[in-house]
Structures are given as C-alpha cells and as structure tokens.
Amino acid sequence: MAEAREIEIPDFDFSGFYYPEIFRALIQFKRTNVPEITDENENEPFVQLLSAFALVGHHSNVLLDIVATETLLPTARLLESVRSHLALIDVKLKQAAPAQTDEVLEFSKVFTVPTNIVPVNSQFATEETEESPQIIFETNESFTIQATDKPTGIFVFSAGKIKLLNNSFDPADKITIEGIDFRNGIEWIPGATLFDTLIEIRDAINSAVSDNINGRIYAVDDSVDTLSLIPLTQDVETISISKTDNVTNNFDIQNGAFGLNRVGVASTPSVLFPLFVSSPKAGDIIYIAHQDIMWDTVEFAFDASGSGIEGVWEYFDGTLEDAKPDTVTNLGSNLEFDLTTLLGDEDRRSTVVRVVLSATGAFEVLVSQFVGGKNIIRSNGLLGQSVVSIDEQAYVVGTIWNEVSQLDDGTNSLTQSGKVSFDLPQNQTQNWIKTSINATEAHWLRFRITKVAAPTIPSVDLIRIDSGSQFLLVPIVQGQTVAEDPLGSSNGGPNQEFN
C-alpha cells in the first residue's frame, strides 16, 4: 500500500485574474523557485510554457467572469441572458425591429394630376460625420399623390342650435336632443330673464346622464339667447334636435351636421357660395383637407367678406397628453385647472380638453372657459381623490386638436380676402397626422369659431392651398434592400459562366 505523501504548495501570487497579471506572477515564481533559468526571452521554451499556462488561466477566468456577469440582471449584457432573467418575472421581450421614422418632403412645384412621387425602396440617409456613420433608410411602399392644386375636402360643420325667442313658455314645451327630452318644469325651469332660462337649459343638457348625451355633446351659451351644441368626441358627426313648442313660439332650433363638400365650387373662379349655411355661431367649424399632403398656407378670395367672427386655426395630432396645467385650485367639490401653457393667453373657449390624474388614470373630458383673462377648465368632481392633490405635476392635460403656431392671418378672421399662413406642424413637438372627418381620411386643418358678435356670412369665390409650400410625410425604415441573386454573382452552383 502506497504511503501518503504531503504535497507542499509553493508561495504564489494568486491575485492575478487576466493574462498580464498571471504571466507576471509566473515569471516571479520562476525567478524564486527556478533561479537557474535566467533566460526570459519570449522564444525560451520555459517562458513559452509559462505563457501558455497564463493564457489557459486567462481563458478560464474570462469564462467565469462572463458567467458571473450574466447571472445578475443589472450586469447582464447578452440578450439571451436578459431575456431569461425577465422570463422569471413573466416579462417577454419582443423581437428586435429596425428603426422607423418619418421624412418630410417639400415639393418644388404644384402637381395638377396624380403623380407617383416616391417609388418603393426609395432611399434616404442621415448625413455622415466624423462622429457617426451614415444610416440608410428605405420606403416599404410607393407614394402616389392626388393633384395638389386644390383641396380634396372642404366641409363646414354647423353646431346644433337652440335659440330662445320668448320667455313665456307653455307647460308641455320641451326640447329633444338625440332622443332625450328636456321638459319645461321638469329638467329645466324658466328663469326671470331669457338668459336665465338659457342657462337652465344649458345646465340641464350638460348634467344629463344618458349615454346619448353624456360625454358626447356639450352645450355652450353663444349669446344671451342662443346655445350651441358641440361634439365632445370625434365620432359625433350629427346632433339631432327637435322641439315641442305649443301656443307661444319659443324655440328656433337647428340640427348639428356637416354640409356638402365645397371643393368643386371653391376651386372654380366666379362660382360663389356662402361659407356657412346659416348665421355663424360658436362651435361652427370650417374643415379643409387633402388626402395625401400637408401645407402651410390657405388663401381665401371673398366676394363679400364676413364680420363679427372670432376663432382659432387648429390641426389634428390625436395626442391627449400635451402639457401640465399651470396651476390647480381646489374649489371644494371640484377642481380648476389653468391651461395657459396648453392653450395660450388668447381666448380659446369651448376647446375640448381631457385632464388625467397620472397616479390613477382617472380622467374627465371637459370644455374650456375663458375667465379672468385665462383659459381654464373646471372638473365635475375630484377625479376620485379623497386627499386632493393641487400639485400641477400630478395631472396631464391635452386636446387632440392643437392650435397652429406662428399664425399670420391675412384674412383678419374672414373679414377680407387674403392668406392664412403658419409654421408646418410637423417637428419634434408637433405631429400633424391624418384622421377621418365626415368619412374622409386626410390631413385636416380647421377654423373653429369661438365667439361671434352680430356676425355676417362670408361669400366665397376661391379657397386655395397651393399659395405656399406643400409637403409629403413619408414613413421610412432603417435598412437597405439587397437582391438575393444579383447579376454576375455566384449562387454556389457548379460550372457557372460570367461575361
């Protein structure tokens, strides 16, 4: 039976982890324990053996380092390691996808016929610099545009109207909106004056709980005797109003609806038409569209100008998280939000705004007021809060229709012929996207009337969108299409010949 023999491990510096440290420790070991080998030339076999030992140690430690690094989520670098860690908490990563962005092309001319502007696989690229290489993008589809010398849609939406003619009502008098009755003496009670009665009917409509009205239609007082009924959502394109008016003639009503598409007459010289179907009122909206392009100028030629109209030019961006309120005031049973950052200093009453409590997602869709020189909204409640926050950072406000910037209104609110120009709302903070209005998908620009004073209807000769610059928004994807078998390349088969 062999005797056990004690093996003595010589002194060695085990702190080295990678090749340089391990190799230095081995050389020191040689000098101490094998002093007779004095040649440390890299071609010396003993030194080469030490170098191999150091390399093996380096390789083992690198593998250990990778294992240690990839074991923990904060230090993991490999995609599969991160994917495995996240799978433990039931989080799955989507497959990687190429970067996508939008390119804005400015036209150098006006197109009078449909034209293919961007063929499929057209390439765009970032500018190459010393710090960053060029990145190539391509289109996945071709883009053919309709003629750009005129809009493809011009509609006027007339808000619903309830005008009071007399303050002496009969017992059975009522107004019916979208099938919901608002009856004299039940939902509303006549006031001492016509305006008091108007406010009674307005509040009855805005406090209705029926799904036909609540969250869909809102009443604003346009004057001392008239209510305008405006949509709260994009899908409300008609507002049905009827009346039961007995002995005394008390009500003048008008349904809310879109008029005819005026592109044909608006693009034909000397063919005149009234811009509004009836006397303009708050909530009436002029919509102008092109199904393919964007533009930065609208030109009006009037045969007879309008008067007494104030409004705002807006574009559709579809985003409801635009800004923080400037201040939040607790009114006890509800909240007041200052919207100066969102809507500016000018009167922007009757803007449909959503306010969200970020912590819970509770929200209300409200209509702005202009009070004390400020645009505000007042909530109906406290957004579900038992302890009310008045920190403006706790809320987000937004509207899907945003005011254009740098407006130059040469028409002076439709009172004279001229051009309305603005900065194209397509940049890092603005995004003019397509939406469907009156069953037409397009880029829509609109003029929304905020208030009137003895208004007159403009008589229009022409409405043009080709007086300024025109643009096309093109989605592009990072990458470059490569042919699978380009001419003159080998496909791996035998006996190929090339000319």
Residue with the bigger pLDDT between 7 and 84: it is: 84
Three-class SS state of 61: helix
Task: With beta carbons less than 8 A apart as the criterion, state whether 455 and 309 touch.
Answer: yes
Task: With beta carbons less than 8 A apart as the criterion, state whether 188 and 204 touch.
Answer: yes
Q: Encode pLDDT of 428-482 as tens digits.
A: 889 999 999 999 999 999 999 999 999 999 999 999 999 999 999 999 999 888 7
Q: What is the pLDDT of residue 12?
A: 80
- Nearest-CA neighbor of 443 among 138, 102, 159? 102
* Helices (H), ranges, 255-317: 263-266
Cα end-to-end span (Å), the chain: 81
Task: With beta carbons less than 8 A apart as the criterion, state whether 360 and 395 touch.
Answer: no
Among 169-173, 270-274, 457-461, 492-496, name the one with the lowest average pLDDT: 492-496
Q: What is the pLDDT of residue 486?
A: 47
Task: With beta carbons less than 8 A apart as the criterion, state whether 330 and 388 touch.
Answer: yes
Query: Beta-carbon neighbour count of residue 190 at 10 Å?
Result: 18
Q: What is the pLDDT of residue 1?
A: 56
Class of domain 101-156+259-319+400-480: mainly beta
Phi/psi region, residue 61 (left: phi>0; alpha: psi -120 to 50; beta: rest), is alpha
Q: What is the pLDDT of residue 98?
A: 85
| Phi, psi dihedrals of residue 410, rounded to the nearest 5° | -75, -10
Answer whether residue 381 shows pLDDT above 90.
yes
- Mean pLDDT value across the chain: 92
Q: What is the pLDDT of residue 475?
A: 94
Q: What is the pLDDT of residue 496?
A: 55
Distant-in-sequence, close-in-space partners of 131: CB < 8 Å, separation ≥ 6: none
The stretch 147-167 carries a mean pLDDT of: 96
| Phi, psi dihedrals of residue 113, rounded to the nearest 5° | -135, 160
Three-class SS state of 442: strand
Answer whether residue 215 shows pLDDT above 80.
yes
- Nearest-CA neighbor of 357 among 382, 322, 330, 329? 382
The span from the CA of 396 to the CA of 392, in Å, is: 8
The stretch 283-302 carries a mean pLDDT of: 98
Q: What is the pLDDT of residue 73?
A: 87
Question: Model pTM?
Answer: 0.79
Answer whether residue 271 shows pLDDT above 90.
yes
Among 23-32, 274-283, 342-351, name the one with the lowest average pLDDT: 23-32
Q: Encode pLDDT of 63-119 as tens digits.
A: 888 888 888 888 888 888 888 888 888 888 887 788 899 999 999 999 999 999 999
Among 41-50, 154-163, 286-295, 367-376, name the one with the lowest average pLDDT: 41-50
The residue length of the chain stands at 499
Among 87-96, 102-111, 139-148, 332-341, name the one with the lowest average pLDDT: 87-96
Answer whether residue 499 shows pLDDT above 50.
no
Q: What is the pLDDT of residue 2?
A: 64
CA 137-434-136 angle, to 5 degrees, is: 5
Q: What is the pLDDT of residue 483?
A: 61
Q: Encode pLDDT of 468-493 as tens digits.
A: 999 999 999 998 887 655 444 445 55
Name the fold adopted by 160-255.
Alpha-Beta Plaits (3.30.70)
Can you give the residue ranges of every domain in the chain? 19-87, 101-156+259-319+400-480, 160-255, 328-394
The stretch 53-61 carries a mean pLDDT of: 89
